[in-house]
């Protein structure tokens, strides 16, 4: 198949699958999601994404309608039906189907929605990102991967209209993350990144890069940094499951980074190696 859309056991082409009007995801964005990619049918970092899905579900009191083994089997079976070497795998679970009312029935069963689409090659040594800064006006539960992404959508659009790739959020002086990725800096050989509290999503790529730093004697400092520190950093790095790890070259039209290319190359080499290793089984 050229793609797959799946909803609660039924599947077909994304363009053809229909979902009910009373799915709470539609009128409240009342749900959670995950996204990763596969290469040669092997889904990258699935365990990490499932751990985060379970954490999001527990924080929002959402009943997942499957066991861990069942969701792995569903994702792997659907993934094998789509004809492409590299695929983007997105899945969300909404609280369930019910008439629109803020209060929910605790017994309600979650709705599982999956899309799998062909995706471009994830590894890219040449890419450098142009960023803009945007005040972070999101709510204070950014650690939960919810469907409620309006500020992220607006910031992303603003970046696109400025001819840029991503929007970096800051609360006052403090850089939190970006509209759909985490942001880190390298200064004097130290990898500095916002701690995993309620102001950022605990990114899976962030976690992998921290492991890689530690294995390669690069000091990691999980302390928030300021916009000024970011502008003056040796490198500004953006991580996500779809981009892996990419350096920034410009923020708000001012040139940034480019002063520790060897560290960037090492992190990219090691992350790409991890992806190769885990998708070549
Ligand atoms: N922060 C936000 C707000 C995101 O939406 C994402 C990814 O979608 C990330 C960070 C990066 O997370 P991950 O590395 O798990 O893709």
- Gap from CA of 183 to ligand 1 centroid (Å): 10
Could you give all domains of the chain from N- to C-terminal order, each with its CATH number? 4-118 (3.30.470.10), 129-279 (3.20.10.10)
Place of tokens 């309620």: 198
pLDDT at site 260: 98
Give the tens place of pLDDT for each residue, 120-144: 988 999 999 999 999 999 999 999 9
Measured distance CA(273)–CA(13) in Å, rounded: 33
pLDDT at site 121: 83
Instruction: Please identify which of the residues 145, 219, 265, 273 carries the catalytic annotation.
Output: 145
- Gap from CA of 35 to ligand 1 centroid (Å): 9
Mean pLDDT score of the chain: 97
Measured distance CA(198)–CA(140) in Å, rounded: 6
Considering only the C-alpha atoms of the chain, give the largest distance between any 2 of them, rounded to a whole number of Å: 56
First to last CA, the chain: 23
| Average confidence (pLDDT) over 8-25 | 97
Residue in 180, 245, 274 to alter for ligand 1 test, most ligand atoms within 8 A of Cβ? 180
Give the tens place of pLDDT for each residue, 63-122: 999 999 999 999 999 999 999 999 999 999 999 999 999 999 999 999 999 999 999 988
Asked whether residue 207 carries a pLDDT value surpassing 90, the answer given is: yes
CB atoms under 10 Å from CB of 96, counted, come to: 21
pLDDT confidence band for 281 (50 / 70 / 90):
low
Contact 75, 89 (CB under 8 A): yes
Contact 74, 89 (CB under 8 A): no
CA dist 254 to 100, 105, 161, 183, 192, Å? 47, 51, 17, 17, 21
Tell the burial category of 120 from Cβ atoms under 10 Å away from its Cβ (0-12, 13-18, 19+): exposed
CB atoms under 10 Å from CB of 175, counted, come to: 28
Contact 93, 113 (CB under 8 A): yes
Measured distance CA(161)–CA(164) in Å, rounded: 7
Of 139, 145, 133, 205, the residue nearest 172 (C-alpha): 133
- Gap from CA of 272 to ligand 1 centroid (Å): 18
145 tagged catalytic: yes
Residue in 119, 175, 181, 241 to alter for ligand 1 test, most ligand atoms within 8 A of Cβ? 181
Tell the burial category of 13 from Cβ atoms under 10 Å away from its Cβ (0-12, 13-18, 19+): exposed
Asked whether residue 280 carries a pLDDT value surpassing 90, the answer given is: no
pLDDT at site 71: 98
- Which residues pair with residue 38 across a beta bridge? 43, 87
Residue in 134, 240, 274 to alter for ligand 1 test, most ligand atoms within 8 A of Cβ? 240
Q: Residue with the nearest Cα to atom 10 of ligand 1?
A: 181
Structure tokens at 60: 């929002």
pLDDT at site 195: 98
| Average confidence (pLDDT) over 54-65 | 97
Asked whether residue 225 carries a pLDDT value surpassing 80, the answer given is: yes
Entry pTM: 0.97
Give me the half-sphere count of Cα atoms (radius 13 Å) on the Cβ side of residue 82.
33
Tell the burial category of 148 from Cβ atoms under 10 Å away from its Cβ (0-12, 13-18, 19+): middle
pLDDT at site 107: 92
- Gap from CA of 161 to ligand 1 centroid (Å): 21
Atom of ligand 1 nearest to the CA of 182: 10
| Average confidence (pLDDT) over 49-69 | 97
Which protein residues touch ligand 1 with a CB less than 6 Å away? 152, 177, 180-182, 201, 203-206, 239-241
- Gap from CA of 240 to ligand 1 centroid (Å): 5
Give the tens place of pLDDT for each residue, 253-270: 999 999 999 999 999 999
pLDDT at site 31: 98
Measured distance CA(233)–CA(260) in Å, rounded: 9
Looking only at the bridges linking them, the beta strands covering 244-251 and 254-255 are: antiparallel
Contact 212, 154 (CB under 8 A): no
The fraction of the chain above a pLDDT of 70, given in percent, is 100
pLDDT at site 251: 98
């Amino acid at each position: 198949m050229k793609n797959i859309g799946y909803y609660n056991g039924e599947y077909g082409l994304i363009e053809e699958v229909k979902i009910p009007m009373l799915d709470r995801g539609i009128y409240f964005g009342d749900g959670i999601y995950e996204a990763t990619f596969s290469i040669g049918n092997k889904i990258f970092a699935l365990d990490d994404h499932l751990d985060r899905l379970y954490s999001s579900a527990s924080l929002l009191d959402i009943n997942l309608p499957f066991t861990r083994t069942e969701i792995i089997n569903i994702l792997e079976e659907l993934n094998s039906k789509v004809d492409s070497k590299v695929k983007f795998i997105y899945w969300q679970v909404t609280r369930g189907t019910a008439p629109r009312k803020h209060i929910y029935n605790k017994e309600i069963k979650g709705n599982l929605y999956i899309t799998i689409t062909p995706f471009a090659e994830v590894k890219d040594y040449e890419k450098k990102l142009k960023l803009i800064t945007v005040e972070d006006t999101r709510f204070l539960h950014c650690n939960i991967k919810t469907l409620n992404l309006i500020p992220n959508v607006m910031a992303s659009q603003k970046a696109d209209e400025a001819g840029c790739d991503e929007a970096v959020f800051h609360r006052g002086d403090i850089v939190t993350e970006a509209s759909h990725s985490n942001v880190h800096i390298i200064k004097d050989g130290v990898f500095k990144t916002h701690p995993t509290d309620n102001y950022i999503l605990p990114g899976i790529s962030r976690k992998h890069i921290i492991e890689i730093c530690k294995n390669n004697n690069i000091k990691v400092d999980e302390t928030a940094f300021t916009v000024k520190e970011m502008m003056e950093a040796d490198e500004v790095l953006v991580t996500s499951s779809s981009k892996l790890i990419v350096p920034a070259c410009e923020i708000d039209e001012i040139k940034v980074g480019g002063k520790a290319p060897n560290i960037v190359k090492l992190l990219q080499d090691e992350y790409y190696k991890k992806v190769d290793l885990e998708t070549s089984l």
